[in-house]
């Protein structure tokens, strides 16, 4: 399914995004966390630099989840039998998502921690 033009490329990309959002539970969880983080950013009136870091962090988690989904689908397409390499491929892709999400939580503490601390100190 090769795109014939730029418009088709965008249509295919959006289709992949839509499929991931609709069919993947973890993508819904990541999107919920992203909405929460963006809402906190608005509430705390974070700086432009913090917004940039927040958007980069969110996009890295969502991208990792989509790559994980693609790896899982390709592995499932290639084999329906257990194979240690198939398991390893899926586990490594899932590990990348986990690492990305863990780093996102750390970035959340870095960005929102000082704002929350001010509220706690009052």
Report how many domains make up the chain: 1
d(CA 22, CA 41): 26
Total Cβ atoms within 10 A of residue 40: 16
Residue 24 assigned ligand-binding role: yes
Which residue segment(s) compose the domain that 17 sits in? 6-121
Task: Determine, yes or no, domain membership for 44.
Answer: yes
Q: Flag whether 1 is in a domain.
A: no
Q: Decide if 65 is catalytic.
A: yes
Query: Which pLDDT belongs to residue 4?
Result: 83
Tens-binned pLDDT, residue by residue, of the chain (122 aa): 676 899 999 999 999 999 999 999 999 999 999 999 999 999 999 999 999 999 999 999 999 999 999 999 999 999 989 999 999 999 999 999 999 999 999 999 999 999 999 999 98
Q: How far is CA 21 from CA 69, 96, 109, 121, in A?
A: 11, 18, 26, 39
CATH number at residue 30: 1.10.287.3610
pLDDT at residue 80 in the model: 87
Smallest Cα–Cα separation from 67: which of 97, 34, 26?
97
> DSSP string spanning 56-78?
HHHHHHHHHHHHHHHHHHHHHHH
Which residues does 1 contact at the CB level (< 8 Å), separation at least 6? 12
Tell me if 82 is assigned to a ligand binding site. no
DSSP codes, 6-59 = HHHHHHHHHHHHHHHHHH-HHHHHHHHHHHHHHHHHHHHT--HHHHHHHHHHHH
pLDDT value, residue 2: 75
50 is in an annotated binding site: no
């Amino acid at each position: 399914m090769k795109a014939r033009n730029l418009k088709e490329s965008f249509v295919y990309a959006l289709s992949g995004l839509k499929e991931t959002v609709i069919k993947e539970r973890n993508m819904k969880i990541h999107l919920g966390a992203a909405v929460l983080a963006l809402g906190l950013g608005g509430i705390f009136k974070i700086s432009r630099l913090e917004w940039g870091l927040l958007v980069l962090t969110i996009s890295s988690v969502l991208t990792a989840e989509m790559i994980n989904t693609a790896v899982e689908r390709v592995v499932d397409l290639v084999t329906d039998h257990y194979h240690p390499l198939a398991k390893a491929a899926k586990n490594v892709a899932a590990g990348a998502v986990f690492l990305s999400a863990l780093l996102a939580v750390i970035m959340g503490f870095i960005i929102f921690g000082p704002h929350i601390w001010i509220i706690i100190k009052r």
